[in-house]
Amino acid sequence: MLPKDRIARAHCRSVSGEMGSGFANLRSALPMNLKARHPGYKIWAGAQPDIDRIADIWTECLATYGGSYLFGAQRTMADAMFAPVVTRFLTYDVKLNKPCIGYCQTIMAMPEMAQWVEAARREPEDIEELDMDF
């Protein structure tokens, strides 16, 4: 799940780590919901810097490595880390530049993503065990 090239591998680890440990405002303001679509959703100021940084990462990687995935023609762990962000951007109608839109389309066209979205759509609206008061 890592590029073979040493520099690309280090870059992949770096952006994957940033995704795993960062973007708290994005996670809070745009909670993951594979069932919903919110056209014209208002993006508040707290989440916008996270969105801008992710778009910068994607744009730079796509331009540098020349593939439909972040590090070329093959999927890497970075694509796995950013796949949930793609779904958030689609759910909340986040406006993106052309390379980022293409990247989102590439990720959503993966058979695994279609399976994930379909499984989420089949989940019940209410899950009793999650309604527990703690």
Predicted pLDDT of residue 134 = 60
Q: What percent of the chain lies above the pLDDT cut of 90?
A: 90
Task: Give the bridge partners for 42, in sequence order.
Answer: none
Contact criterion met (CB below 8 Å) for 29 and 47: yes
Per-residue pLDDT tens for 50-91? Answer: 999 999 999 999 999 999 999 999 999 999 999 999 999 999
Give the three-class secondary structure for 72.
strand
Tell me: pLDDT of 103 over 80: yes
pLDDT of residue 76: 98
Structural domain spans, the chain: 53-121
Q: Report the residue count for the chain.
A: 134
Read off the pTM.
0.90
User: What pLDDT does residue 127 have?
Assistant: 66
Q: Are the C-beta atoms of residues 94 and 26 closer than 8 Å to each other? A: no
